Amino acid sequence: MEPLIIMTLVVGFFMAWGIGANDTANSMSTAVGAKAITPMQAVLIAAILEFTGSYFFGKHVTETIRKGIINPQLINNATVVIYGSLAALLSAGVWLLIASYYGLPVSTTHSIIGGIVGYGLIHAGPAIVNWKKLFYVVLSWIISPILGGLVGFAVFWLIRLTILNTDRPFDNARKWAPVWISLAFFIVGMTFYIKTVHGKDILKAVIFGLGFSLIAFLISKLWMHVHRGSGDEYQAVEDIFKRVQILTSCYVALAHGANDVANAIGPVAAVYSAIKGGFQGFMVPVPRWILAYGGIGIAIGVTTYGYRVMRTVGTRITELTNTRGFSIDFSAASVVLVASRLGLPVSTTHTVVGAVVGVGLARGLSAINKGVLKDIVVSWFVTVPVAAIMSAIFFKIFMHIL
């Protein structure tokens, strides 16, 4: 095997490891923070589902230039694609390592976009960058947490109104929980079809979602009929949502593996294609073994280092319970689904954090750890420029020594 391919596989694995270490917070942090599952259970479940999503549902054709962020017409040879992809992967991986060390949840997509912008600028100057697309990325830093926060606040407020702040919370949970559960699985079903199965037909997505919703409603209604609860009424309510939260978190992990594996294997596939067949454009086929390779990297990242970001999102921003955790998962999935259909630029990471804050604010400003939140927001705004600067440096080094 060519040395450049080996080097790319090593760097790509590092990037995939970084995705697992950092983005695990999207799928499992709320379940851990609400004590629905233990941290050890979380990393094992996430590792299995992230790999499953990557291998079985990851895209088999991927963009070498993610999100159309730079103009491919200004890149006219395979060498630039190879060294640029290496630089982008390495810079994004290093930034994810730094962010994960400090427990800061950042967007892996924005990290790789920063890496691509960096090598593009150093190769062809400002003209290569699609500044409108980059503006949309910046816009997502604002849109995502605001939408996540507003919907998270509203969902938890409604759960409190219909269940928690009533005279008979457990009886009302038996009546309303199946409705909330079926709504959640309607969203899960639709997003699974659109973003994981990569289906385009919206009517089929709705039917798929309704199927999930009906099954979830019937099962939950049957379970509520036989489940009597015990002890404290509020704890009995939390136990109901605890089981649902585990399922929604599992879905997020599966979908994340399917969608974000492209951030690691897209550039790897680009280098592999360029070396094996020359410069053939910017949409390249992805061999299944590369999908598996990326999935393994993500799974190992989850298992070895995912706990740091998980701890920040799950426990350090605000105190979570199972009803709050369910509200966050439901809100984040809803926002990502609606925004993707409307073409709004949103980040899952930023949406989840926004939903955590929104649910926390439902109990008042004092429920939010403002110091931790400030550090997270700063890390979002420096992700693209830091990754771009590192990528530019790595690209110049690679062009001179390789």
Q: Which residue has the higher pLDDT, 396 or 61?
A: 396
Say yes or no to pLDDT of 154 above 70.
yes
> Do residues 367 and 320 lie in contact, with contact meaning Cβ atoms separated by under 8 Å?
no
3-state DSSP helix/strand/coil percent for the chain, to nearest 5?
80, 0, 15
Distance CA 144, CA 219 (A): 33
Question: Nearest CA to 180 among 333, 319, 320?
Answer: 333
Residues written for the chain: 402
* Domain interval for residue 171: 3-401
CB burial readout 202-216, b (16+ within 10 A) else e:
eeebeebbeebbeeb
- Percentage with pLDDT > 70 across the chain: 94
Average pLDDT, whole number, for the chain?
A: 88
- 282 phi, psi to nearest 5 deg: -120, 10
Each residue of 230-260: pLDDT tens digit?
678 888 899 889 988 888 888 888 877 887 8
Each residue of 340-386: pLDDT tens digit?
777 776 788 999 999 999 999 998 989 999 999 999 999 999 999 99
pLDDT at 284: 67
The least confident of 168-182, 284-298, 314-328 is 284-298
pLDDT at 297: 94
pLDDT at 333: 87
- 123 phi, psi to nearest 5 deg: -85, -45
Say yes or no to pLDDT of 121 above 90.
yes
Each residue of 65-105: pLDDT tens digit?
555 788 878 887 888 888 998 999 999 999 999 999 999 99
Q: What sections of 343-369 are H helices per DSSP?
A: 348-361
pLDDT at 304: 93
Say yes or no to pLDDT of 115 above 60.
yes
Distance CA 326, CA 334 (A): 12
Each residue of 158-213: pLDDT tens digit?
999 999 999 999 989 989 999 999 999 999 889 888 877 777 788 999 999 999 99
Using alpha carbons, list the distances in angstroms from residue 375 to 11, 72, 103, 369.
28, 35, 10, 10
Q: How many domains would you assign to the chain?
A: 1
Using alpha carbons, list the distances in angstroms from residue 154 to 51, 141, 357, 363.
33, 21, 12, 12
Q: In the structure, how many helices (H) and strands (E) does the chain have? A: 13, 2
> Do residues 118 and 88 lie in contact, with contact meaning Cβ atoms separated by under 8 Å?
yes
Distance CA 51, CA 300 (A): 9
- Percentage with pLDDT > 90 across the chain: 53
Distance CA 347, CA 352 (A): 9
DSSP assignment letter at 287: -
pLDDT class for 138, splitting at 50, 70, 90? confident
Question: Nearest CA to 82 among 2, 197, 184, 179?
Answer: 2
> Do residues 159 and 240 lie in contact, with contact meaning Cβ atoms separated by under 8 Å?
no
DSSP-assigned beta bridge partners for residue 370 = none
> Do residues 266 and 64 lie in contact, with contact meaning Cβ atoms separated by under 8 Å?
yes
pLDDT at 377: 95
pLDDT at 258: 80
pLDDT at 199: 77
Q: Locate 40 and state its tokens.
A: 């050890």
Q: Locate 8 and state its tokens.
A: 């790319």
